[in-house]
Structure 1
């Protein structure tokens, strides 16, 4: 299931966006709000700078991540989905 989702993300139009979000959420030391995550994803690494043209809307990010992240509108927090798979 995880492998198929990652293959889908890598073949999508925005794999860099999705993988960037997943990495930021996995390594964040505290919960991230949607606006904070979107702005963090608009930072280019080479050269290191903020680029407002890279801002996307929340629905685009949620779609790019193929259900691996959730957004809570009340708190504005974005979280990784924790999936338990048993056979």
Structure 2
């Protein structure tokens, strides 16, 4: 882990309400379920829900924040399984 001080003036925008994507991986059936979460929830709420849902269903999961950059959309992994667990 690399840690360094930063100048907060190096960013040009921020969002108060993020959109999240949660992928639940069912390895036994090589299947996944995907959900988008929005509506002003905090990341702690999303992480708690994902952990609870995964535990109840015996799945692993990955949580992403969904980001738009111009016309493109992308995902930034916050926690969980790296990459495609079926690969």
Asked whether the two chains share a fold, i.e. TM above 0.5, the reply is no
TM-score (norm 2): 0.25
TM-score (norm 1): 0.25
Richer in strand (by share): 2
Higher relative contact order (CA 8 A, sep 6+): 1
Richer in helix (by share): 1
Which structure has the larger Rg over C-alpha atoms? Answer: 2
